[in-house]
Amino acid sequence: MEHHHKLSMIKTRYYLFLALSIFLLGACGEKKNKVEPEKQENPNVLFIAVDDLNNMLGVLDGHSGTKTPNIDRLAARGVVFSDAHCQAPLCGPSRASLMTGLRPSTTGIYGMIDDNKIRSENPSTKDIIMLPEYFKQNGYHTMGIGKLFHSHAPDGIFEESGGRVKGFGPLPEERFVWDGYGSSDRENYGKTSTDWGAFPEADSLMPDHRSVDWAKARMNKKYDKPFFIGVGFLRVHVPLYVPQKWFDLHPLDSIRTMPYRADDLNDVPPVALQINDLPMMPSTDWAIESGEWPKIIQAYLACISFVDHEIGRLLDALENSEHADNTVIVLWSDHGYRLGEKGTFAKHALWNTATKTPLLFAAPNLPNGKIIDQPAELLSIYPTLLELCGLPAYDRNEGKSLVPLMKGEGVAPSIAITTFGMNNHTVKSERFRYIRYEDGGEEFYDHRNDPNEFMNQAKNPKYSEEIRRLKEYLPEDNAAWDANSSYTFQPYFVAQKARTSGSEEKVVNGIGAPQ
């Protein structure tokens, strides 16, 4: 009996122990198998700016014989906007607009401006959060090198700054072809850096090459937070100097010049002619008579090939790093560049070849190899990057995110607005371009029938309804010139600022704004 009782007690304890063990194991298993929501890491950003690059890219251009294998391979893994436009056809105001997310007509930054004075007493910009800052405030480690704003960047805007080599060198002891003044009156016009030729001997002597080295070193590091790294290339800005090997890719006998008509500007308003008054630049007629036109285009293409190679080095470094699958890339240029179209070699205009600029996004959640032909604005870069990186929208942005359009989710037909000086605007739709100048002068072009913008149709009643529709997009508010912004390169902008803002400026020592 006593033995039976002890056996019963042992069994009871055993079953209690077994039940407790099963309960504990179940609890542990439940805890182990419970799926905790993963913390989604924000992707990194590689922000690539190329100075003065027009749309002569292999993925887009069927005319020039351009060679851009690295930009093309980036395009194959992303989305390209074939009809993107700057907000100003001049580097200073274009970059200030992109980085603040505000239109030039909102800020009054129509000309060049010191990076540190973008945010000043100007009521529109005094408390604006600039694009790299917004990423920093949202937990990113920010780095930048080269030409990102007009010079480099406002002081302290990057946690790590590689700075920028001043100017657009290296330079030979003497210019090869163009003296920088042309036929201009040196008291009233600035000096351009424009020249072309093979120089220096090696890529390693180019500041852009060293910028890529700097960026590569940083992309190979580990970070405890996502990073934003900006790389601003100086080429293809004039002077069109790169080593000889890049010229060799583009033999002179393969170069084709651009469509041109000597009477092209006979039907444009007076303000258009004043803006296009650029005697310090080579004229198309001079380039034809001298035989230099193919050589200028060859040099421009050589510079594109050089920059493309450096972008390839940057992409290789990213692809070989641990960040390859979690980085958003944007590649853009601050405006287009005319290579003889409309009479000169410059940006400085509200016509298509001056406002049109490359724009390309690649990201883990975007389509591959997609080309979008609807107009887009550089102003959209800021809100698009925020959406791609899962950051909250910034309510001060005047551009709209391009993510829905890139993902094919459907948006209303797009337009792009470019401004050059106070109250001079162009509105670009898919088919048409409308230009309105400060004195009421107008231009209108139908790109389906006239892609070179040879025939101003502003007075053609056939297009009155289209003109009326595009007029509705003109900015209603046109801020006076920001006191810290000016453009002394040629007389029109000096006079306009004086007329509209009551300030007087002049070209200093015949140099004007850097070109």
Active site residues per annotation: 91, 150
User: Beta strand 432-436 with 425-428: parallel, antiparallel or unpaired?
Assistant: antiparallel
Longest dimension (CA), the chain: 126
Contact between 239 and 196 under an 8 Å Cβ cutoff? The reply is: yes
Residue 31: is it exposed, middle or buried by C-beta count within 10 angstroms (0-12/13-18/19+)? exposed
Sequence-distant (6+) residues with CB within 8 A of 402 are 81, 361, 376, 380, 384
Contact between 84 and 375 under an 8 Å Cβ cutoff? The reply is: yes
Strand ranges, E, within 203-284: 227-233, 240-242
Contact between 230 and 143 under an 8 Å Cβ cutoff? The reply is: yes
- Other residues' Cβ atoms within 10 Å of the Cβ of residue 294: 16
Find, among 400, 438, 414, 504, the residue nearest to 105 by Cα: 438
Q: Report the distance separating Cα 515 and Cα 502, nearest Å.
A: 26
Contact between 128 and 100 under an 8 Å Cβ cutoff? The reply is: yes
Q: What secondary structure, in 3-state letters, does 134-193 show?
A: HHHHCCCEEEEEECCCCCCCCCCCCCEEEECCCCCCCCCCCCCCCCCCCCCCCCCCCCCC
Q: Report the distance separating Cα 160 and Cα 140, nearest Å.
A: 12
